Chains A and B, each alone.
Chain A
Amino acid sequence: MNIALLIQAAMRYSAPVLLAAVGALFCDCAGVTFIILEAQMLLGCFFAVIAGYYFQSWAAGVLCAVLASILLGWFFVWITMKMKAIELVVGFAINFLIDGLTIYLLRMVFHQTGSFVSPEIPAIPRITVPVLSQIPLIGNLFYQQTWIVYFAFLSVLIAAVLIYHTSFGLHILSSGANPEAAKAVGIHIGQTRIQCIMIASVLCGLAGSQLSIGFLSMFSEGMTVGKGFIALGALMFSNRKPALVLFITLLFGFAEAIGNQVQLSGTIASELVLMIPYLAVLACVFVKKPIPEQI
């Protein structure tokens, strides 16, 4: 097994999950039960492909993916905050809705079923960081990835600083832990939560773009295969610590990379192999103690 290829694949696989998990981290800290990451990623996948294809530009694809995800985020905001619906229920409904909607649109727009593959779908260019990629072993981290992958890893750092070292972070944490306290000192809880949802929406849009035009340049039905939920699992495991979010998503990435290599060797049934990353995350969540109850 080629270590360099494995590391590169693991980074590629973990990036979308990581982006979604960081988005979920913001929402969780702010006290929003935000489970539509999966739907936002899937919608992002779809629009990245569709816009990329029509405008013949990966940038347009990414932009549309992010916009679509933001729009869905606003829909969630409207229905939960303005219409006072329950976040969890709305979340489930949206996840199912988008799953069906992308399949429907795929048939209506491309007259395709199952998946849409075309050499005319543009891909996000791969970047090799000049000097850093020359370092032995570590260099693999900076070799032939899209900017979204690099940004995903950077986003963990940004989240850690924003949430735990700025006043915006204090607003987020207080909105989540004791909204009354936040309100009493004049913090606008609704705004803070909307800001967090928007951050998550942008990150999920990027994650979707990476999944569809960052690597494969195709769209297939339900191609996120639960990555949004894996992100939620990673978040639960992390106890809101960004470093642990990074750890578990990387674990997922490695498990998927190894799984794919095993699959290629063809010795084990592929259905079993496909379970590996999910089992790995599940095991982690089981091992971990639950977050101590907040007063």
Chain B
Amino acid sequence: MIIIKQIEMRKITKTFGNLTANSEVDFLVEPGKIYGLIGENGAGKTTLMRMLYGMYEPDGGEILIDGKPVQLKSPKDAIDAGIGMVHQHFALVPTLTVTQNMILGRPIQKKNKLLDIKKAEQMVEALGKEYKLEVPPKALIKDIPVSIQQRVEILKALYLGADLLIMDEPTAVLTPQEIVKLFQTLVELRNAGKSIILITHKLNEIMQITDEILVLRLGKVTGHVLTSETDERRIAEMMVGRQLNPQKAKKTTDQSKIALEVTDLEYIDKWGVRAVDHISFSLHKGEILGIAGVQGNGQSELIDILTGMVNNYSGSVCIDGKPVTPSMGTRIRREYGLGCIPEDRQLTGAAVGGTILANFIMSGYRTDDFSGKWMIHYKKARERTWEYVKRFTVKTDDIMNDALSLSGGNLQKLIVARELYLKPSVLIAAQPSRGVDIGATEYIHDTLIEHRNQGNAVLLVSNELSEIMTVSDRILVIYNGRFVGEADPKTATEEEIGLLMAGIERRDSRL
């Protein structure tokens, strides 16, 4: 039995203090369709969906189900109304089993009110078969891989009777192959009469799978279109509210000199896992080398080794012709010409409690630009910081504000500005566009290419395959701490690289 449900959000408005997260948003969800909800970070996608899921109450407007206005005051109300949500950070209890998590919202009990785990496990298996989403009922959540955890989340929503499934950035944690599998599942669910709302900021995905697209920008609907009648570029322009600039051209550079030489790196992490497994590569001047891979395959550890954040590794690293030993720390490596845009900008990228000025000068404060003989020359430092803040279009009123006051994109631009200030001959850029809006991403990519055009080397590490493909000159794919293949972004396809990322080696791989 399929219950036909039409859900409508009418003139929904939500404000947090001075900030308007959603303003008069209209959204009609019909059964049997996949909707894409797209917009930049902070466009109000998640807020809108949280209102539909009863986590926030709208300040204005109404939600109608089959034409009748409803009040969704808590997730429980939403669940009862047939709305399910798969959260970006899965809402699963890691220490409980798959089955326990499934029945958390609606227990399966014996007559004496005790839980009937056996029956519940059978239910999980049956439901998994029905929707082709098999999961191990007895396993603890913390022991199963992320993609299976996501299945549990979807199954949980279905078990709770969801007719509408809201998926918040479901592909962020998946490999390309897992994404394909997920999309197959979503299509099957749609064919079974369920409606799906896919929240995302990835254009290619939304074009692949959705029927209709709702674009949000600064809390307002800037487009509601049929997927078949639009293209990526138009959607992107609706997202940013302006024409996109073409990517900066790559000049031909002299790539004969080696900027970073790495041989036979090995690192065993504190859990005894060989996170980096005998890695060797060389990065040339005037080149952007992209390292592609699913998160957690040794990229972070590799960066930590190169920058000197860990020193209990073996193997040799040579920065700009100068060998560094494991015991040499971050400072010496920076003096040798290494710069790094770290992957976690809140943790290692910036001291968010410090001022913007402090964050800008913290890598170069020893140079004459910022210091006199004994002390930091704050007048000079302020001038320099303002100059760079302006040049890198970091939006702020005052550089004496806390770095925390900057949005993700602006903080990232500040970090990029700081790292480029010393003109490093080798720049490591780790996830430079993570959580950053299209405008800032565009800018950061152009900056990296400009740095390369000036004859410097860039090592780009990213989980976003599309980013690697558009920016790099050459791609290495990392899997389980080893490079499993090399690809040329001009000729290789995303599918080929995706297979390598999943650990399926090509016969003709060059490494």
Binds A, one of B61-69, B107-115, B433-441: B107-115
Q: Please provide the 8 A-B residue pairs with the shortest distance between their CB atoms, ordered closest to farther.
A: A186-B76, A185-B105, A167-B107, A184-B91, A181-B91, A178-B93, A295-B94, A177-B93
For the complex, is A173 an interface residue (Cβ under 8 Å from B)? Answer: yes
Residues of A within 8 A of B101 (CB): 174, 181
Interface residues of B in 38-85 (CB under 8 A from A): 55, 74-77, 79, 85
For the complex, is A2 an interface residue (Cβ under 8 Å from B)? Answer: no
Residues of A within 8 A of B115 (CB): 165-167, 169-170
Contact of B109 among A161, A167, A177 (CB under 8 A): A167
Is the CB–CB distance between B91 and A294 below 8 Å?
Answer: no
Q: Which of B85, B89, B103, B104 has the most CB of A within 10 A?
A: B104
Number of A interface residues, CB 8 Å?
Answer: 22
Is the CB–CB distance between A166 and B113 below 8 Å?
Answer: yes
Given contact pairs A166-B109, A177-B93, A183-B75, a sample of 18 additional A-B residue pairs in the complex whose CB atoms are under 8 Å apart: A161-B114, A170-B103, A173-B96, A174-B101, A174-B104, A177-B96, A178-B94, A180-B87, A180-B91, A181-B92, A181-B104, A184-B85, A185-B79, A185-B91, A185-B105, A186-B76, A186-B79, A188-B74
Is the CB–CB distance between A170 and B104 below 8 Å?
Answer: yes
For the complex, is A262 an interface residue (Cβ under 8 Å from B)? Answer: no
Is the CB–CB distance between B75 and A186 below 8 Å?
Answer: yes
For the complex, is B156 an interface residue (Cβ under 8 Å from A)? Answer: yes
Interface residues of A in 108-160 (CB under 8 A from B): none
Complex Cα gap A188–B79 (Å): 14
Can you list 30 residue pairs at the A/B interface with Cβ under 8 Å? A161-B114, A165-B115, A166-B107, A166-B114, A167-B103, A167-B109, A167-B115, A169-B115, A170-B100, A170-B103, A170-B104, A170-B107, A173-B95, A174-B93, A177-B93, A177-B94, A177-B96, A178-B91, A181-B92, A181-B93, A183-B55, A184-B85, A185-B75, A185-B156, A186-B75, A187-B104, A187-B105, A188-B74, A294-B94, A295-B142
Residues of B within 8 A of A161 (CB): 114
**Shortest distance in angstroms between B100's beta carbon and chain A's nearest beta carbon?**
6
Select from chain A the residue with minimum beta-carbon distance to B86.
A184
Is the CB–CB distance between B107 and A180 below 8 Å?
Answer: no
Complex Cα gap A183–B73 (Å): 12
For the complex, is A182 an interface residue (Cβ under 8 Å from B)? Answer: yes
For the complex, is B160 an interface residue (Cβ under 8 Å from A)? Answer: yes
Residues of A within 8 A of B107 (CB): 166-167, 170
**Shortest distance in angstroms between B200's beta carbon and chain A's nearest beta carbon?**
19
Complex Cα gap A192–B109 (Å): 19
**Shortest distance in angstroms between B99's beta carbon and chain A's nearest beta carbon?**
10
Complex Cα gap A183–B91 (Å): 8
Complex Cα gap A170–B99 (Å): 11
Q: Which of B75, B92, B93, B156 has the most CB of A within 10 A?
A: B93
Residues of B within 8 A of A182 (CB): 93, 104
Is the CB–CB distance between B74 and A184 below 8 Å?
Answer: no
Select from chain A the residue with minimum beta-carbon distance to B156.
A185
Select from chain A the residue with minimum beta-carbon distance to B79.
A186
Complex Cα gap A180–B101 (Å): 12
Contact with B along A176-209 (1 / 0, CB 8 A): 0110111111111000000000000000000000
